[in-house]
Structure 1
Amino acid sequence: MDSRSANVFGIDRSLTGKVWRWRGGNMHLSEGAGGLEDDIVTQLLLSRGVAREDLARHRVPSLRAFLPDPSQFRDMDAAAERLAQAVMTGETLTVYGDYDVDGATSAALLILLMRRLGHEARYYIPDRLLEGYGPSGEALVRIGAEGSSLIVTVDCGAMAHEALDMAHEAGVDVIVVDHHKCAPELPRAAALVNPNRLDEGEVAAGHGHLAAVGVAFLLAVATLRTLRRRGYFETRAEPDLFALLDLVALGTVADVAALHGLNRALVAQGLKVMARRDNIGMAALIDASRLNRAPTCSDLGFALGPRINAGGRVGEATLGVRLLTATDAQEAREIAAQLSRLNDERRAIEQVVQEAAEAQIERQHNRAVLILAGVGWHPGVIGIVAGRIKEKTGKPTLVIALEADEAGCGKGSGRSIAGVDLGAAIIAAREAGLLVAGGGHAMAAGLTVAPEKLEALSEWLDSQLAADVSRAGANQSVLLDLAVAPRGLTTQLIETLESAGPFGMGWPGPRVAVGPVRIMKADIVGVDHLRLIVGGPDGGRFKAMAFRAVETEMGQALLHTAADRRLWLAGRAKIDDWGTRPQAELHVDDAAFAD
């Protein structure tokens, strides 16, 4: 069992059909931890790829340790010089943001930066339904005609060749701040800052996992350095860039950016800033999410982020930026409440679209990539639905909203699985003439497609990605960080595990196996959540939750398991602090019979 390749507890097929393996070394603590060479946190860091000589830097991730010189990024100095010029001359500037959380936080960061530099910036957020993703040439020209001689696009623009050509012809300078995949030929811009440019150097390319808000933060660092060199702060105080890290943390986590290296440091420090509640809009958002404590990384992805997204998905696209740049507490509370209502509406719409999309899955069981399309599906929820179906099927999934008019194009959003670069495939499909537009990154992509091209697109993606999907499926396993006896699942253990965070994409939260246990009680909570009360032979007893699991094979097995049958449960250990005394519980994502 000491080998990483050995099956944990001999489990080669769990209730979700996976094999159980150790992520790093064997951390089976049910018989005591005396034999471990390293402490638990060290083991967690090592198993996530940290070199032993680099442990100290990763144990407490700080910006000082991870922040690169922004000048290592192509066009960064040119962008900083152009922004500094706009600040010093009082030039009218507009920030053009995408309508999701990354776009909203990126736009808010630059707006607040300008405000603290004594310069008011305008903003423009396109309507998802009427304008679609990315900057349109018409909008850029119109913004220029309204007085803005400089536009900064954030979280969009890397592939907007035609739109930026129109802006250039109209005499408007555009700085692009983006993180999506680029084509070899870049659009015409005053500067294009994107670590995923194909011509980037080694240091910048190594930061391709940054969300757009992370790139915007580096631009803020570079801009302040430029202004400092020009003497701008001889008569005024420099703004505190660290105070903007709550925005960076929210955008990074909500955009599912990989939380390693610089991103992990940005989020770790941003959570500390968020706990101070200095940003009026962020504080209102936290309150509207009914959090009575400082937000955690998980809260950013599941409570705060979806509310900001709801404005762009089913409501007014500018609500997120307005909230995060608000100066009036009452206005902030009203916007946050409106976003919460829109989020409830989004959930209802999402359920309808998901049910309709899932009805099409069976007809595509032999496809490596699922393409699910329907007339009248709300474009604002297709990305979420694609993610849900991807999780359920284990396949890359594209969900496309078709217009009632057959001549109209469908708007699609896709989510991928580890090991399958969907964004690159979508860009290649566009270049092959199968798409009107398309782009993205490895795990997510967006597209515009003519209805008559759907079948050809499906065939083409199958031919391009079938081998990658097959390899990814063959490697499906549950990676465990440690195993404990039931009495070993304690709040103290959980606090120790969480100290190796923050956790997220690319820096997975510790998965704990607990057992053997017997199910003492099983019931359904809400629509499709499963709640278990389990106990072990050592007298340990705890609550376990399996979310969205009732209709799955695992959920049905757990609901109907005989009381005398022993199991191992695997998942994230969490602290339930709703009661009078914090209790340890397990959020189950897999289970296996122990006998």
Structure 2
Amino acid sequence: MIESKYDWQLNQISNQDTVTELAKSVGIDEFVARILVQRGIDSPAKAETFLKPSTENFHDPYLMHDMKKGVDRIQQAVEKGEHITVYGDYDADGITSTTIMYEVLIDLGATVDYYIPNRFTEGYGPNVAAYQKIIANGTTLIITVDNGVAGNEAIAAANQLNCDVVVSDHHSLPEVLPDAYAIIHPRVKDADGHTYPFGDLCGAGVALKIATALLDELPTDLIDIASIGTVADIVSLTDENRAIVKFGIQAIMNSQRPGLLALIKEAGIQLDRFDEQDIGFAVAPRLNSLGRMKDANVGVELLSTFDEDRAEELAKFANHQNELRKSLVDQFYKQAVDQVTASTSENLSTLVVVGDNWHQGVLGIVASRLVEKYQRPTLVLTTQDGTDEAKGSGRSVPNFDLFAAIDPIRDQLVAFGGHHSAVGLTVNKNVIQKLRDQLEKAAGKQHLDLSIKPTLPIAGQIAVKQITPEFMDKLKALAPFGQDNAKPVFEVNYDQVQNVKTMGKGSDHLKVVLSQENTQLTAVAFGKGNLATQIKPGSNRLKIVGEIGENTWNNRTTLQLMVDDLKQAADPVIDERTRVLHEQMFTDDGTYVFFHESMYTQLRGYFKGDAKAVMYSDLINNDTHDERLFVVDCPDVIDDLTKVLKSCHPKITVLYLYKKQLVSKIGMPDRNSYAKLFRFVKENPNINIATQLKRVSEHLHIAARTIIFMIQVFLELDFITVNDRVVNMNPHYAPHDLKSAPSYRLRQEQLKTEKQLLVTGTHELVDFIKDCLDS
């Protein structure tokens, strides 16, 4: 049985007329219209706006809190030649935000530099020591990007040193806002209680709005960078963000930025097929790795430089850092899994893994992968030489507030911060067990139920033969895909699964082909290689859902299914027919039925525990409802098997159907053979079967086993006598039909049974057994 990881939720449309009308009004495929309606885009006006973003989708930047005040201060600093520092963040959103703000100020002729704090020594956001250092170097205006709204202490220190701070941020608002010169944030209310029309901009999006206000027009030369930050930060891809990414991808495909082009080349991406997934899975991870592994400042230089040699050098460095990051994640993840397996943690509702000298920059990724594997809240900590502290990151599942779980003991921690789904923390080593206990206590308090599967919305069901390049082109109208506009997940219907294979260095991944009529679709499931042995080629029992994508190899593009989830109920009938029996075949719990006493006697010593061996006659008419029934040997009469199946009602039937020698290979003697043997016995009295069988066989040109069988038939019909293996004619025999002999009838039944159970193919056999079970 293959259990699904998710609870599949097939989206249903209550009003098909809305779909039909929308498709007709906008001129789109009904399948696409159905997905739009599922996502609340149910009118022609909404659909036009969604499908064809334009510059009109961009709101007036001055609707954002403190935009005018902040822009006036920046312009003043530019005009007076003040030293401005852009204070960023070390992730991809922070790097792109910094690049946007730095470049627009350079274009305005400002005296400007940028500063990105070090993840390991300074941490996230405004830092008092960093601010003091920046101001000591002559800065009179700090502009934060992608941070600052919670930087009360550092901003207060800057104010005391007569340095203004303009905050631009998008993160959650604290109870008390900092005393900054201006706070440009889409969710901060203005004096009238209004907020910006779209609150889901990322840091790069807010920076783009400031750039738009400074230039008094949309800076199209910066929208490529803004799109990278928007996808990387996993913000809602609706409204302005959708337009930013849509236009940004087009800009990247025509980019003249040496650093971005070099980075794309290092990632092995085809520029003419560039899309949002290339940002999410190739560009953003390489930018993120800079801050995770060492220093993110080079990320801004990479994106903004026009020196091609330097761009290539930095792109190679970013790629190297990303490879190093992946290597460390794999290494620490494996150690973490080994640690969980070796402990009793698998029985807990939460996980706390502690490594030794693990790189701090990848702990969040390791935690995410452990949550993916174990589906439970996870903290990953690492100790460091020379300190009594452990630092780490945590990730959670949707139905558990990780921040709230730890918050009650925050006074016992060295440092702690985060939100519902992710936290960062530093603890003394002697508090780690207390942390474990607190998480388990919170799991009970929050009623964490690990049996509840996360939901997976399914856009609809689609047949393999419907998945064509034309259909893919229609689907692309919904792109760019991301948060709040996920790539549609389909349940794919097919006739047969074929070519079941594993792939990857450790056979970690699964690859199958789904076929229907004359159409085939390759499906790839990452991390599911262990399921390959459970999937029967030729079967259609596997249910499979995923996203339809394109795979380009050697300049040839084919469609494929990227599998999100799959499930397969245990097959009620399993064909394990064999010509060899061994002890390991009798170790599973269940009922093992025999049809021949000799075999039952020979093998019953193998059975232990809840595995039991029985003769078929003990099961008939017993009405048992067995969980698993193993049919060990092949019956002589097929009706014996059908009676057993109807009496047992097994949920799973495993068919070994062992038979040492097939009767069908010997066959049924023809009438001529019977006549030849009859005449021979009549003309040659006193035939000793023990000593003369070989000579008789050679003389008659009939196999010895066939002669033995015919002698048995003759004996049952009283045609002959046999005394001490000496055969003679019965002088008083009477004519009888050969078919009336029990051995003859048994041979007929055996041939019929072998044809039905042993000679037939798997499909026919399984169908026959299912019919027996259902009748």
TM-score by length of 1: 0.85
1:488 is aligned, of 466, 476, 482, to 466
Indicate conservation of the 8 Å contact 1:528/1:549, yes or no: no
Q: Which runs of 5+ in 1 are unaligned?
A: 1-12, 226-237, 551-555
Distance 1:390 1:124 in 2: 34
Is 1:350 the counterpart of 2:350? The answer is no
Is 1:288 the counterpart of 2:266? The answer is yes
How far is the alpha carbon of 1:134 from its aligned partner?
2.1
Question: What is the 5 A alignment of 1:152-301?
Answer: 152-197=143-188, 204=195, 207-225=198-216, 241-294=219-272, 295-301=274-280
Distance 1:401 1:180 in 2: 27
> What amino acid sits opposite 1:341 in the alignment?
H
Distance 1:69 1:587 in 2: 39
How far is the alpha carbon of 1:564 from its aligned partner?
3.0
Distance 1:113 1:589 in 2: 41
Per mean C-alpha deviation after superposition, the further-off stretch among 318-327 and 457-466 is 457-466
Is 1:374 the counterpart of 2:335? The answer is no
How far is the alpha carbon of 1:22 from its aligned partner?
1.3
2:523 is aligned, of 535, 540, 544, to 544
Distance 2:198 2:63 in 1: 11
How far is the alpha carbon of 1:455 from its aligned partner?
4.2
User: Counterpart in 1 of 2:285?
Assistant: 306
How far is the alpha carbon of 1:525 from its aligned partner?
2.4
Deviations 1:351-402 (A, max 9, x none): 1221222334454446555433323111111122122222223334332333
How far is the alpha carbon of 1:27 from its aligned partner?
13
Q: Tell me the number of residue pairs that the alignment of Structure 1 and Structure 2 aligns.
A: 556
How far is the alpha carbon of 1:322 from its aligned partner?
0.9
> What amino acid sits opposite 1:110 in the alignment?
M
User: Counterpart in 2 of 1:476?
Assistant: 454
User: Counterpart in 2 of 1:403?
Assistant: 384
Deviations 1:91-131 (A, max 9, x none): 11111111111110000000111111122420112222222
Indicate conservation of the 8 Å contact 1:416/1:444, yes or no: yes
Per mean C-alpha deviation after superposition, the further-off stretch among 214-223 and 449-458 is 449-458
How far is the alpha carbon of 1:177 from its aligned partner?
1.8
Indicate conservation of the 8 Å contact 1:101/1:254, yes or no: yes
How far is the alpha carbon of 1:167 from its aligned partner?
1.9
SS at match of 2:284: helix
User: Counterpart in 2 of 1:558?
Assistant: 532
Distance 2:399 2:188 in 1: 21
> What amino acid sits opposite 1:243 in the alignment?
D
Per mean C-alpha deviation after superposition, the further-off stretch among 356-365 and 207-216 is 356-365
Distance 1:168 1:430 in 2: 33
How far is the alpha carbon of 1:536 from its aligned partner?
2.6
Distance 2:141 2:558 in 1: 54
Q: Which runs of 5+ in 2 are unaligned?
A: 572-775
Deviations 1:532-572 (A, max 9, x none): 2424342321221112333xxxxx23343122321232111
2:556 is aligned, of 560, 563, 581, to 581
User: Counterpart in 1 of 2:600?
Assistant: none
Deviations 1:456-499 (A, max 9, x none): 44555555576768479636233211222222222222222121
SS at match of 2:527: coil
Deviations 1:295-315 (A, max 9, x none): 211111111111111211113
Distance 1:146 1:115 in 2: 19
> What amino acid sits opposite 1:56 in the alignment?
E
Distance 1:163 1:302 in 2: 35
Distance 2:62 2:477 in 1: 32
How far is the alpha carbon of 1:420 from its aligned partner?
5.2
Distance 1:435 1:181 in 2: 22
Per mean C-alpha deviation after superposition, the further-off stretch among 578-587 and 104-113 is 578-587
Indicate conservation of the 8 Å contact 1:45/1:59, yes or no: no
TM-score by length of 2: 0.66
Indicate conservation of the 8 Å contact 1:412/1:446, yes or no: yes
Per mean C-alpha deviation after superposition, the further-off stretch among 250-259 and 152-161 is 152-161
Is 1:59 the counterpart of 2:59? The answer is no
**Greater relative contact order, per chain length (Cα 8 Å cut-off, separation 6+):** 1
Distance 2:546 2:191 in 1: 39
1:447 is aligned, of 425, 440, 444, to 425
Question: What is the 5 A alignment of 1:310-459?
Answer: 310-361=289-340, 363-365=344-346, 368-408=349-389, 410-418=390-398, 422=402, 425=404, 429=407, 432-440=410-418, 443-459=421-437
Mark the structure with the bigger radius of gyration.
Answer: 2
Indicate conservation of the 8 Å contact 2:349/2:450, yes or no: no
Percent identical residues: 32
Distance 2:51 2:238 in 1: 12
1:25 is aligned, of 10, 13, 35, to 13
SS at match of 2:376: coil
SS at match of 1:532: strand
How has the CA–CA distance of structure 1 residues 125 and 528 changed in structure 2, closer, same or farther, with 3 Å as cutoff?
Answer: farther
Distance 1:69 1:575 in 2: 38
Tell me how large the CA RMSD over aligned residues is: 3.2
Is 1:500 the counterpart of 2:491? The answer is no
Distance 1:433 1:111 in 2: 39
